[in-house]
């Protein structure tokens, strides 16, 4: 074995899950390397610069915010496990958020980081439902959402045992789904509980400088613990032999070996890397595209679930169907100057029933999420250098990736930028003059499902990954584990906890 | 190594793992779990920090001996002494 190219643990992907797993493992003396194809860390929660401006992707708000001193919540666990002091994340709580339903947001539920506000809103707007709502909240609070082997149940069914008004039901599902669900129309109840706690019982916060603050802290911890990383160098193939991930072929063609491999890139995405090898030479190491078509048998015959077996995976680990467009509008003044100073996040829907499902057309602008990153309670009047107005809607991956050429793609972006923004404006306080927004706009950008796949490698532009989650992270390859999106702890705090849990469970606490 | 010195080592580790806990009034004969928010992830960290910082191995079957500060001292002191500490 070439020890220079051998790691105790190789981690695929430098997103939140990969970085968190890496910190744990390096802290406890493992030789760890994170392999990241992109030139920036963060994965689905990253950042970029365009025309001299810094933009965040992903993160609207960090969920799971609790006041300092609150014990036993995901944020506290995460900070402890990574030896991060709370102040390092420099989180500032939201002002308030809303769920606004109806063609002009006629029914609205305000919520803040104080759960009593939402409870009072439900009592006032849905008086007949408040007892059921309280009973539902009691069930949510009592649920063991970190269990790795809970049996799947329909969240809609459980919620309907307590709530009889479909409007309230949809209004609760809308934020919970938009901020983490890979499943159309319904969710697994455990996932619902994770998100309900993260959004409503806990809350939203953000560092003034956005997601890069969190990433900087993680990178510094990882570096100090002795972790290595290779940027712009993804893992091209995982060569399997004797039921194990025998070695990894990197994008630059070199090979490394690792006692354990943690993949954070998704279940189907990981499956596509796995190739049967005979333990020597180039066998089975053809081009990735050619080999995919050829394989008619599972790539490994290990016992256990058929994950990573090409055929079975199409059924049991389907590529997610939910993708998104987001418009980003940079303003020459804070949103408050347009009359939008109160809302941090607005979840909106204009239809009789909320349809969280793959968009039939390019974009489904009937529902969406508005984020105003200026509207957090930053200290001492601090604010972002410019105003930001972000809108996210469901979008169709196939539509955006099958446009005939680049000109058609750009034209489609232009068209939908306007349509998404117009849809969202219905749910914000009226502008002082009809052209006020256009006059305040300095720059715009927009991501589409195509952008997501290009920069994150997530198949189908599916930010939240596959609807089928693998809670214990196991794969048929004995030393290959999944963490991150497809392991199933949601949100960015969830992603980090996923990396931590899988590192603990499969590497640090493993027997032998 | 005295048992008090051993308790201090465990306290230092807990302070490192759980900086948000107040350790000043811990009762040595009461389960740590009953006096603080320590979950199984935190206990795993105590075990791993003992290994990392002091070269002490605690097999899973012996985790029960880490329940209170007194039981930690009873269990760990001979281990430290065996290492010449």
Domain assignment present for A77 = no
- Evaluate whether A374 touches A387 at the Cβ level (below 8 Å): yes
Beta carbons of A80 and B60 less than 8 Å apart: no
Note whether A328 and A303 are same-domain residues: no
Note whether A327 and A439 are same-domain residues: yes
- Beta carbons within 8 Å of A303's beta carbon, 6+ residues apart: A476
Tell me how far the alpha carbon of residue A410 is from its chain's centroid. 26
Judged by a CB distance cut-off of 8 A, whether residue B24 touches chain A is: no
Which letter, b or e, does each residue of A202-223 get, where b requires 16 or more Cβ atoms within 10 Å of its Cβ? Answer: bbbbbbeebbbbbbebbbebbe
Beta carbons of A86 and B18 less than 8 Å apart: no
Note whether A326 and A452 are same-domain residues: yes
Judged by a CB distance cut-off of 8 A, whether residue B23 touches chain A is: no
Note whether A299 and A355 are same-domain residues: no
Domain assignment present for A104 = no
Domain assignment present for A474 = yes
What is residue A138's predicted lDDT score, i.e. its pLDDT?
A: 98
Domain assignment present for A226 = yes
Q: Please give the torsion angle defined by the CA atoms of residues A131, A136, A139 and A144, in that order, rounded to the nearest 10 degrees.
A: -160
**Which of A136, A167, A197 finishes a domain?**
A197
- Beta carbons within 8 Å of A36's beta carbon, 6+ residues apart: A13, A14, A18, A229, A230, A231, A232, A233, A234
What is residue A89's predicted lDDT score, i.e. its pLDDT?
A: 95
| Cα distances (angstroms) measured from residue B73 to each of B6, B14, B15 | 6, 14, 17
A511 confidence band (pLDDT: 50, 70, 90):
low
Note whether A347 and A444 are same-domain residues: yes
Q: Is the pLDDT of residue A257 over 80?
A: yes
Judged by a CB distance cut-off of 8 A, whether residue B16 touches chain A is: yes
Note whether A245 and A365 are same-domain residues: no
**Min Cα separation B47/chain A (Å):** 10
Asked whether the CA dihedral A325, A493, A10, A216 is positive or negative, the reply is positive
Judged by a CB distance cut-off of 8 A, whether residue B18 touches chain A is: yes
What is the chain B residue with the closest CA to A26?
B52
Judged by a CB distance cut-off of 8 A, whether residue B44 touches chain A is: yes
- CATH at residue A302: 3.50.50.60
Beta carbons of B41 and A86 less than 8 Å apart: no
Q: Is the pLDDT of residue A370 over 70?
A: yes
- CATH at residue B53: 1.10.1200.10
Beta strands in A38-106 (DSSP E): 47-50, 53-56, 91-93, 96-101
Beta carbons of A85 and B19 less than 8 Å apart: yes
Note whether A231 and A246 are same-domain residues: yes
Q: Using CA atoms, how far apart are residues A304 and B83, in angstroms rounded to an integer?
A: 43
Crossing angle between the packed helical segments A115-125 and A130-142, to the nearest 10 degrees: 150
**Min Cα separation A69/chain B (Å):** 7
Mean pLDDT, residues A460-468: 92
Render pLDDT for A289-321 as a digit per residue (tens, 0 to 9): 333 333 333 333 333 333 444 333 434 678 999
Q: Specify the number of domains making up chain A.
A: 3
What is the chain B residue with the closest CA to A29?
B52
Q: Is the pLDDT of residue A145 over 80?
A: no
Residues of the domain holding A137: 113-197
Render pLDDT for B20-32 as a digit per residue (tens, 0 to 9): 888 988 999 999 9
Note whether A228 and A241 are same-domain residues: yes
Note whether A348 and A388 are same-domain residues: yes
Judged by a CB distance cut-off of 8 A, whether residue A226 touches chain B is: no
Note whether A327 and A435 are same-domain residues: yes
What is the chain B residue with the closest CA to A86?
B20
Q: Using CA atoms, how far apart are residues A448 and A467, in angstroms rounded to an integer?
A: 20
Domain assignment present for A102 = no
| Cα distances (angstroms) measured from residue A268 to each of A184, A260, A277, A444, A506 | 18, 19, 19, 33, 20
Crossing angle between the packed helical segments B69-82 and B3-17, to the nearest 10 degrees: 110
Note whether A181 and A295 are same-domain residues: no
Q: Using CA atoms, how far apart are residues B14 and A318, in angstroms rounded to an integer?
A: 43
Judged by a CB distance cut-off of 8 A, whether residue B27 touches chain A is: no
**Min Cα separation B82/chain A (Å):** 23
Tell me how far the alpha carbon of residue A11 is from its chain's centroid. 18
Mean pLDDT, residues A198-205: 97
Note whether A479 and A360 are same-domain residues: no
DSSP assigned state of A281: T
Q: Specify the number of domains making up chain B.
A: 1
Beta-bridged to residue A47, according to DSSP, are A56
Q: Is A190 helix (H, G, I), strand (E, B) or coil?
A: helix
Residues of the domain holding B75: 3-82
Task: Among A27, A79, A80, A504, pick the best mutation site for testing chain B contact (most B Cβ within 10 A).
Answer: A80
What is residue A304's predicted lDDT score, i.e. its pLDDT?
A: 35
- Evaluate whether A500 touches A20 at the Cβ level (below 8 Å): yes
DSSP assigned state of B19: T
For the question of an ipTM over 0.90, the answer is no
């Amino acid at each position: 074995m070439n020890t220079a190219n051998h790691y105790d643990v190789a981690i695929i992907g430098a997103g939140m899950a990969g970085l968190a797993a890496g910190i744990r493992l390096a802290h406890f003396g493992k030789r760890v390397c994170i392999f990241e194809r992109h030139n920036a860390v963060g994965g689905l929660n990253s950042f970029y610069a365009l025309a001299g401006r810094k933009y965040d992707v992903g993160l609207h708000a960090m969920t799971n915010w609790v006041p300092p001193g609150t014990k036993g919540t995901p944020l506290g666990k995460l900070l402890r496990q990574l030896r991060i002091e709370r102040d390092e994340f420099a989180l500032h709580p939201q002002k308030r958020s809303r769920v606004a339903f109806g063609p002009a947001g006629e029914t609205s539920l305000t919520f803040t980081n104080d759960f009593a506000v939402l409870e009072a809103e439900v009592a006032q707007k849905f008086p007949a439902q408040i007892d059921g709502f309280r009973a539902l909240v009691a069930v949510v609070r009592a649920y063991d959402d970190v269990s790795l082997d809970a049996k799947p149940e329909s969240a809609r069914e459980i919620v309907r045992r307590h709530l009889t008004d479909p409007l309230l039901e949809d209004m609760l599902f809308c934020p919970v789904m938009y901020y983490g669900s890979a499943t159309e129309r319904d969710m697994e109840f455990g996932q619902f509980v994770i998100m309900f706690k993260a959004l409503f019982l806990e809350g939203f916060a953000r560092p003034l400088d956005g997601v890069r603050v969190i990433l900087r802290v993680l990178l510094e911890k990882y570096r100090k613990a002795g972790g290595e990383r290779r940027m712009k160098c993804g893992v091209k193939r995982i060569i399997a032999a004797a039921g194990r991930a025998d070695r990894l072929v990197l994008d630059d063609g070199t090979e490394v070996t690792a006692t354990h491999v943690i993949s954070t890139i998704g279940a189907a995405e990981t499956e596509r890397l796995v190739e049967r090898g005979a333990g020597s030479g180039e066998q089975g190491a053809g081009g990735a595209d050619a080999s995919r078509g050829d394989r008619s048998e599972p790539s490994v015959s290990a016992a256990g679930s058929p994950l990573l077996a090409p055929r079975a995976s199409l059924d049991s680990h389907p590529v997610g169907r939910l993708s998104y467009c987001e418009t980003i509008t940079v303003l020459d003044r804070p949103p408050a100057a347009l009359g939008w100073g109160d809302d941090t996040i607005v979840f909106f829907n204009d239809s009789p029933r909320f349809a969280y499902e793959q968009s039939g057309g390019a974009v489904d602008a009937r529902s969406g999420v508005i984020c105003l990153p200026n509207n957090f309670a930053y200290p001492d009047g601090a604010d972002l250098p410019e105003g930001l107005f972000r809108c996210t809607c469901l979008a169709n991956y196939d539509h955006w990736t099958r446009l005939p050429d680049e000109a058609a793609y750009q034209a489609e972006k232009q068209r939908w930028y306007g349509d998404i923004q117009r849809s969202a404006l219905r749910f914000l306080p009226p502008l002082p003059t009809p052209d006020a927004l256009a006059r305040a706009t300095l720059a715009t950008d927009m991501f589409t499902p195509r952008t997501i796949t290009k920069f994150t490698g997530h198949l189908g532009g599916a930010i939240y990954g596959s609807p089928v989650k693998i809670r214990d992270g196991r794969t048929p390859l004995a030393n290959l584990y999944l963490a991150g999106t497809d392991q199933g702890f949601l949100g960015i705090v969830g992603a980090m906890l996923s990396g931590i849990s899988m590192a603990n469970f499969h590497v640090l606490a493993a027997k032998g | 190594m005295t048992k008090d010195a051993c308790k201090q080592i465990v306290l230092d580790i807990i302070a490192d793992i759980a900086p948000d806990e107040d350790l000043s009034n811990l009762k040595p004969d009461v389960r740590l779990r009953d006096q603080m928010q320590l979950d199984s992830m935190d206990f795993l960290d105590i075990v791993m920090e003992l290994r990392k910082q002091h070269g002490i191995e605690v097999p899973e079957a012996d985790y029960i001996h880490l329940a209170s500060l007194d039981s930690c001292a009873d269990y760990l002191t001979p281990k430290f002494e065996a290492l010449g500490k």
